[in-house]
Amino acid sequence: MRGFASLSTRGLLRLQATAAPRDAWICSSCHYGQVAQLRSAKSFSSSSYRFGKELKDKPFYATTPIFYVNASPHVGHLYTMVLADVLKRWEVLKGGPPALLCTGTDEHGMKVQRAAELQDVAPKVFCDSVAQTFKDLAKKANIANDFFIRTTDPDHRDAVEYFWQTLQAKGFIYETKHEGWYCVSDETFYPENMVTKQVSPTTGKSIMTSIETGNIVKWTEERNYHFRMTELKDRLLDFYKKNPEWVVPASRMAEVVKWVENNLEDLSISRPASRLTWGIPVPNDESQTIYVWVDALINYLTKAGYPNWTPGSEHLGGWPADVQVIGKDIVRFHCVYWPALLMALDLPLPKRILSHAHWLMGQRKMSKSVGNVVNPFFALERWGVDAMRYYLMYCGGIAYDTDYGNYYITQSYVKGLQGGLGNLLNRITRPKVWSVRDAVTHAHEVRRQREPKSTTAKTLAEGIGKTSSPVCETTDLHHKLIASSAETFAEQMAKLNPGGALKGIMEMIFETNAYLQLAKPWDLVKQGEMQLVKEIVYCAAESVRVAGILLQPYMPEKAAGLLDRLGVEPERRTLAYAKLHADDTYGVSRVPLGEGAQSSLFPPIPYQEFDVED
């Protein structure tokens, strides 16, 4: 299920978004003529593009941040990728316009320059190697990304240069001397109230650090270019006020508003080439290098076809993004700097920002220096791709950090997948004493003959001989649970809460296992109550079928395997069929069901209690 949008569809979208390609970069004098035309053209502005106004032919567009290549990927990168992938796949499951997902690598800046120097290789050679590792991770994790952007790509460099010169033409860039506390690790300047003095635990000497990240800062004086961000303060605050759910979770939206109210300054957007050469030079001034965060943020526009947009069809490349998934440590860049830059050019802002929390190890933030970073390739190999995707989505935090550990993964697998979903699938498909197909056929015949409200509850009550039977009540409630599951799931996804949506589906699975334990169809078989057995098996099968459809964004391969074993036709695996009684054709497995635990969809794993990644 990797290729949701066909190559032909993606190719068409790309061609539409780049209807007027440039063969090469144009000279500055010609460029300023184009900028003047752009300024006089009809504005594609954030003020006119509101959340309620939808363009039917606009693709759904989701992004991850582009990952910095100064080090290899870790499990936090994997979590971000999977979150965005689930949201993209959910849109595909819903049907409608094509859905696009962009991920990639951020390859410029001081940290990359130093990392390459340490390895005694050219920066581009260093970047090629690490970028390939991130590409490999996306492929290994079954991420359905349509684009993989690198900030060293020629089309991205063109987009950045165009963006810069448009800002300059609009009067948002000026040159001045800049003084402040600069952090190489964070690639940013911090105001005085965001730094503090500490004692180094290694040397015992006093050092200045960022209050926000704890990384060392040094006083820096240099001449560079600035972006007039303070001119946009009122527009930013007005936007936040009118769109209070723009950042998820709400606690980070509040942090963003507070930052803009109390800390907003004009932004230093270049660095002297004398100390930073690895980056995109400022157009017409090679003594300065464009600030890595300005460079990086524009990547989202690059793959949406910017700046080669045909007037009136700018949205065909996907912009504005429907959701941008980021980690909580880069909220300020994406929720303050990014909207300000877009507002300056009258470009529409992304519709939503999903900011997730971090993964910890032993209640400590993962760090290479501490040695508690999880290699995502090892994790995917050990536990399986879909088992890891399930664990990250089920246990991962949005508002609060989560502790990672092999013990927790084992518990998640054993309870949710092996003992929950896999066990339920086996309980209804493997017994020889009943047939899922017969149960489905019987249930739909009964529905055609009777009122739906009387079918299962009344039949089950009469079969057991107790009108107030707990089984009767449970069956009626369970049918309601199945009937409402897709709607409840969709509500959570609309809130950008894939973890909550997944927990709801798994709760239905746990309830179905409990229902079977109460109804005991295996005992009813011995009593000859086959009509009643069919009702019970059908109810359980419907739970699994609906769950299997909704689980496809989370576990693409395992969900497909589940639906194959249940006999659901491929064309009946969309959201339209994720409701009670929606499919009367399934019940004959499309694959061998096998025998024994090891042939189950989720076979047993050796139960070992690991506290750290070995």
Give per-residue pLDDT as tens, 1-19.
333 333 333 333 333 333 3
Tell me: do 443 and 351 sit in the same domain.
no
310 and 419 within one domain: no
Q: Tell me whether residue 517 is in a domain.
A: yes
Amino acid letter, 434: W
Q: What is the domain-level CATH number for residue 499?
A: 1.10.730.10
Query: What is residue 54's predicted lDDT score, i.e. its pLDDT?
Result: 62
113 and 16 inside one domain: yes
pLDDT of residue 217: 77
C-alpha angle with apex 458: 452 to 459, nearest 5 degrees? Answer: 95
Out of 316, 339, 356, pick the residue that ends a domain: 356
Q: Which positions ≥6 away from 448 have C-beta within 8 Å?
A: none
Residues 293 and 433 in one domain: no
Considering the domain architecture, whether residues 311 and 182 belong to the same structural domain is answered as: yes
Which pLDDT does position 522 carry in this prediction? 95
229 and 134 in a common domain: yes
CA 180, 181, 182, 186 torsion-angle sign: negative
pTM, full prediction? 0.85
- Give a yes or no: residue 614 inside a domain: no
Same domain, 441 and 522: yes
Question: How big is the chain, counted in residues?
Answer: 614
The reported pLDDT for the residue numbered 335 is 98
DSSP string for residues in 390-403: HHHHHH--SSS-EE
The alpha carbon of residue 472 and the mean position of all alpha carbons in its chain are separated, in whole angstroms, by 41
Q: Look up residue 567 and give its two tokens.
A: 């006999």
What's the rounded Cα separation, in Å, for the pair 346 and 351? 15
Query: 476 and 345, same structural domain?
Result: no
- Ranges in the chain, pLDDT < 50: 1-52, 452, 454-468, 608-614
455 and 346, same structural domain? no
Q: In Å, how far are 170, 191, 311, 491, 526 from 40, measured between CA atoms?
A: 12, 37, 12, 42, 82
pLDDT at 42: 34
What sign does the dihedral 305-307-312-315 (CA atoms) show? Answer: positive
**Is residue 18 within 8 Å of residue 159, measured between CB atoms?**
no
606 domain residue, yes or no: no
Which of 306, 333, 356 finishes a domain? 356
My answer on whether 319 and 434 are in the same domain is no
Could you tell me the residue range of the domain that residue 461 belongs to? 415-599
With beta carbons less than 8 A apart as the criterion, state whether 353 and 335 touch.
yes
What is d(CA 379, CA 359) in angstroms, rounded to the nearest whole number? 14
Q: Is the same domain home to 205 and 57?
A: yes
Q: What is the pLDDT of residue 3?
A: 35
C-alpha angle 327/331/336, rounded to 5°? 155
Give a yes or no: residue 439 inside a domain: yes
- Domain-located, residue 362: no
Please report, for the domain that includes residue 77, its CATH number: 3.40.50.620
* Owner of token pair 């589906």: 505
CA 389 – CA 304 distance, rounded (Å): 27
Q: Locate tokens 């899922």: which residue? A: 436
Q: What is the distance between the alpha carbons of residues 544 and 563, in angstroms, rounded to a whole number?
A: 9
Asked if 44 and 348 count as a contact pair (C-beta separation under 8 A), the reply is yes
Q: Tell me whether residue 125 is in a domain.
A: yes
What the block records as the tokens of 244 is 């209070």
464: helix, coil or strand?
helix
**Cα(16)–Cα(304) distance, rounded to whole angstroms?**
10
The predicted pLDDT at position 475 comes to 72
Last residue of a domain, one of 356, 386, 402: 356
Residue 285 lies in a domain: yes
The count of structural domains within the chain is 2
369 part of a folded domain: no
Q: What is the pLDDT of residue 426?
A: 97
Q: Are residues 420 and 336 located together in one domain of the fold?
A: no
Q: What does the alpha-carbon distance between residue 220 and residue 114 come to, in Å, rounded to a whole number?
A: 18
Q: How far apart are CA 81 and CA 540, in angstroms?
A: 33
Query: Hey, what are 238's tokens?
Result: 């007005």
Nearest to 283 by CA among 59, 476, 462, 26: 26
